[in-house]
Amino acid sequence: MFDFDVLLPDTLSILSAVPLTLALAATIFVLSTIIGSLFAFIEQRRVPVLRQGVVAYKVVFKGVPMVIVIFLAYYGVPPALQFLTTLFGLEYNAHSLPNWILLVIALTACVSAFQAEIVKGALNSFDRGQADAAYSLGYTGGQMFRRILFPQVILAAIPDLANSVMVIMKALSLGFAIEVIDIFAQAQLTAALNYYYLEAFVVAVVIYMVIAYLVTFSADRAEKALRLRM
Amino acid sequence: MLELRDIRLSYGNSQILKGVNLSVSRGDVVSIIGPSGTGKTTLLKCINYLARPSSGTIALDQIRMDYRRADKPTVQAIRLRTAMVFQQFNVFKNMSVIQNVMDPLIVVQRKSKEEARQIAVQELERVGLSDKLDMYPSQLSGGQLQRTGIARALAVRPDVMLFDEPTSSLDPELVGEVLKVINDVAASGMTSLLVTHEMQFAKKISNRIVFMDQGVVAAEGSPDEVFDTPSNPRLAQFLKSEVAFQ
């Protein structure tokens, strides 16, 4: 049945994958939030052509399973990159690109589509009358953005952004398909060595829960602190 | 002092302003009345270019601009000398009452924090909000929000105050406190333009009334002329319906 003796060694083994998992999640979160915000601004400003591009992009990347995008990146990005480097006469073996970079590219591509919706929603919640008031008082567009719009939009987006962090954390387990070892993959590997599968996955669950709790907790704290000043 | 000539503006196919003329002298308190949807608010917003006319000219003392060739520096010069109070208050929700008043002084007028605070405290006292300095908009009533908006506008020391239906979205019991503040502002000699549906109030504080109807100024004159002996039939009809409504 359940063997408590392997829990400690298993935990130590699986914990070794936590730093990489968190680093990958943070990278994907930052990149996808930047790209998603860009998309949201393009839609909000109704930039011609680009706007249709963003809408099409969102349909594709919200609809296609992430694991397929990961495989597409795995098989598609290196040859494409090799083609470009050869075209520009650069000495670089694109096939030596580490898999974790391909995973970051694939997941960033997918999550950006969702981040775009989050930022768009937060932007829509902003009461434009305040912008009118700012402009009537002589604020420039940049001053209005920094002083009034940004602080309110970021606050409105915090709960959904915290959600995204967890979505990314979980999506990283798909990286096992291209041999990127995150928490889930490490649990799999650890169990494969001693055949205590149930124990390894229970440990993984606990680790995921702790991370989820910490993310939610700090997001709530941040939101409350900002809300107090609003 | 303020002169608008032949202001025209359309949204899509509907013409909102069809050649409006308006002139205001220093110290004037001018109320703009008229049925809903006749362009009163739009006209007011043309002054600080929140609404963009397709043609017409504006002159604010030495500053002159043809709306067909509107340029940023001139728009900014006009905005720095006018201040608007909005129907929906439009106070900055991420700032406390005093920050709302200080921020334009610091950001736009580049005043020091101390000086900005001093002015803000003074203006907020004038509108009766001395005990609410550190409150946030979500904690305030509509009347308090609007008085914050008025203090913010006064603090930039404008030459002209633009009041856009300042009491229209207030609960009836809160209208009085805001009207009292506006009355004080008007009485202090501040040149003011007021779009309003408060006929009695307009009659009391204004030295001129402008009646707008279907995108043009249909009648204007002293409060007595406009309210007691309306010559324009549409004006007479409008006043009747307003009185019946009240």
Query: In which band, very low, low, confident or very high, does the pLDDT at A171 lie, cut at 50, 70 and 90?
Result: very high
Q: Are B159 and B82 in contact (CB under 8 A)?
A: yes
Query: In which band, very low, low, confident or very high, does the pLDDT at B244 lie, cut at 50, 70 and 90?
Result: low
pLDDT value, residue B75: 96
Q: A84 in a domain, yes or no?
A: yes
Query: Can you tell me the distance from the alpha carbon of B54 to that of B46, in angstroms, rounded to the nearest whole number?
Result: 10
CB < 8 Å to B149, chain A: 133
CB < 8 Å to B84, chain A: 133, 136
- Asked if A137 has any chain B CB less than 8 Å from its own CB, the reply is yes
Q: Which of B23, B59, B19, B55 is nearest to B39 (CA)?
A: B19
Q: Under 8 Å CB-to-CB from B143, ≥6 apart: which residues?
A: B170, B171, B174, B175, B177, B178
Query: Can you tell me the distance from the alpha carbon of B174 to that of A218, in angstroms, rounded to the nearest whole number?
Result: 40
pLDDT for B46 beyond 70:
yes
Q: A12 in a domain, yes or no?
A: no
Q: A180 in a domain, yes or no?
A: no
pLDDT value, residue A221: 93
Q: A40 in a domain, yes or no?
A: yes
Query: In which band, very low, low, confident or very high, does the pLDDT at A127 lie, cut at 50, 70 and 90?
Result: very high
Query: Can you tell me the distance from the alpha carbon of B8 to that of B215, in angstroms, rounded to the nearest whole number?
Result: 9
Q: Picking from B80-84, B92-96, B242-246, which range would have the lowest pLDDT averaged per residue?
A: B242-246
Q: What percent of chain A has pLDDT over 70?
A: 99
- Asked if A150 has any chain B CB less than 8 Å from its own CB, the reply is no
Q: A82 in a domain, yes or no?
A: yes
Q: Which of B51, B48, B50 is nearest to B65 (CA)?
A: B48
> Are B84 and A152 a contacting pair at CB < 8 A?
no
- Across the beta sheet with B160-164, the strand order is B82-85, B160-164, B191-195, B29-33, B208-213, B216-221
Of A134, A148, A230, the CB nearest to B136: A230
The domain total for chain B is: 1
ipTM: 0.93
CATH number of the domain enclosing A119: 1.10.3720.10
Name which residue leads in pLDDT, A89 or B82.
Answer: B82
Structural domain boundaries enclosing A131: 26-156
Query: Can you tell me the distance from the alpha carbon of B172 to that of A98, in angstroms, rounded to the nearest whole number?
Result: 68
> Are A139 and B156 a contacting pair at CB < 8 A?
no
Paired residues of A160 in beta bridges: none
Q: A7 in a domain, yes or no?
A: no
The one-character DSSP state at B150 is H
Query: Can you tell me the distance from the alpha carbon of A97 to that of A1, in angstroms, rounded to the nearest whole number?
Result: 43
CATH number of the domain enclosing B39: 3.40.50.300
pLDDT value, residue A89: 85
> Are A133 and B136 a contacting pair at CB < 8 A?
no
pLDDT value, residue A229: 66
What secondary structure does DSSP assign to B15-35, as a single string? EEEEEEEEEE-TT-EEEEE-S
Q: Are B86 and B162 in contact (CB under 8 A)?
A: no
pLDDT for B121 beyond 90:
yes
Name which residue leads in pLDDT, A144 or A3.
Answer: A144
CA distance A134 to chain B (A): 8
Q: Which residue of A has its CA nearest to B85?
A: A133
pLDDT for B31 beyond 90:
yes
Counting every residue written for chain B, the total comes to 246
- Asked if B211 has any chain A CB less than 8 Å from its own CB, the reply is no
pLDDT for A230 beyond 80:
no
pLDDT value, residue B187: 92
pLDDT value, residue A220: 93
- Listed as own residue / partner, the contacts of B61-65 with beta carbons closer than 8 Å and 24 or more positions apart are B61/B1, B61/B159
pLDDT for B246 beyond 80:
no
pLDDT value, residue A91: 83
CA distance A153 to chain B (A): 10
Q: Picking from A23-32, B21-30, B151-160, B226-235, which range would have the lowest pLDDT averaged per residue?
A: B226-235
Cα of A19 vs its chain's centroid, Å: 16
Per-residue b or e along A155-193, where b marks 16 or more CB atoms closer than 10 Å to that residue's CB? bbbbebbbebbbbbbbbbbbbbebebbbbbbbbbebbee
The domain total for chain A is: 1
> Are B107 and A147 a contacting pair at CB < 8 A?
yes
Which whole number is the average pLDDT over A173-195? 94
Q: Which of B246, B183, B238, B185 is nearest to B210 (CA)?
A: B238
Among B52, B107, B123, B165, the residue to mutate for chain A (most A Cβ within 10 A): B107
> Are A147 and B149 a contacting pair at CB < 8 A?
no
Q: Which residue of B has its CA nearest to A130?
A: B90
pLDDT for A1 beyond 80:
no
3-class secondary structure per residue, chain A: CCCHHHHHHHHHHHHCCHHHHHHHHHHHHHHHHHHHHHHHHHHHCCCCCHHHHHHHHHHHHHHCCHHHHHHHHHHHHHHHHHHHHHHCCCCCCHHHCCHHHHHHHHHHHHHHHHHHHHHHHHHHHCCCHHHHHHHHCCCCHHHHHHHHHHHHHHHHHHHHHHHHHHHHHHHHHHHHHHCCCCHHHHHHHHHHHHCCHHHHHHHHHHHHHHHHHHHHHHHHHHHHHHHHCC
Q: What percent of chain A has pLDDT over 90?
A: 87
In whole numbers, what is the pLDDT of chain A averaged over residues?
94
Name which residue leads in pLDDT, B30 or A91.
Answer: B30
A-contacting residues of B 52-81, CB under 8 Å?
76, 79-80
> Are B79 and A138 a contacting pair at CB < 8 A?
yes
Of B86, B108, B137, the CB nearest to A138: B108
Structural domain boundaries enclosing B74: 2-245
Q: pTM for this one? A: 0.85
Q: Picking from A28-32, B84-88, B199-203, which range would have the lowest pLDDT averaged per residue?
A: B199-203
B40: left (phi over 0), alpha (psi -120 to 50) or beta: alpha
- Asked if A217 has any chain B CB less than 8 Å from its own CB, the reply is no
Whole-angstrom CA distances from A144 to A7, A150, B64, B95, B104 are 54, 8, 26, 13, 10
Model pLDDT for residues B179-228, shown as the tens digit of each residue: 999 999 999 999 999 999 999 999 999 999 999 999 999 999 999 999 99
- Asked if B152 has any chain A CB less than 8 Å from its own CB, the reply is yes
Q: A212 in a domain, yes or no?
A: no
Model pLDDT for residues A78-101, shown as the tens digit of each residue: 999 999 988 888 888 888 899 999
